[in-house]
Amino acid sequence: MSNFISHVASIVSPDWATLAVVAVLCGIAAYVVKEYLAHPPMIVFVYPVMIFFALATYYLFAATEQFNPKKIDQWLMWTILGSISGTVIGIVAISLLAALREKFGHRRTPPPPPKPTRVAR
């Protein structure tokens, strides 16, 4: 359990520069995705999911030593790649949750058809 907690702690505690790049890129993606949501204010719940998956993807790249974080060009490239992949994974996760909610959620019965009006002659 301590191993899991140390990984989670590392995922949610990146440096400020990484967090700023991830937040800006996910913010731009959230602004674009907002237009395609059935209820646009729901982006408030989608944005943190995209941030979490972007940070988790970046941590995966950093933990497997895919790049040298001391070189700014490699760090920026892999941070952008982590943000893009995390955003895509976050959008897919939210879409799957919405599809499951529609499939298994509470279905309302449609309202009864209106009664015809009688016209007095």
Instruction: Give residue 98's domain range.
Output: 2-104
99 inside domain? yes
Contact in structure between 14 and 52 (CB atoms under 8 Å): no
Residue with the larger pLDDT of the pair 73 and 21: 21
Residue 107 scores a pLDDT above 70: no
92 inside domain? yes
Length of the chain: 121
Number of domains in the chain: 1
82 inside domain? yes
pLDDT band, residue 24 (cuts 50/70/90): very high
Measured distance CA(116)–CA(80) in Å, rounded: 60
31 inside domain? yes
> What's the whole-model pTM score?
0.73
112 inside domain? no
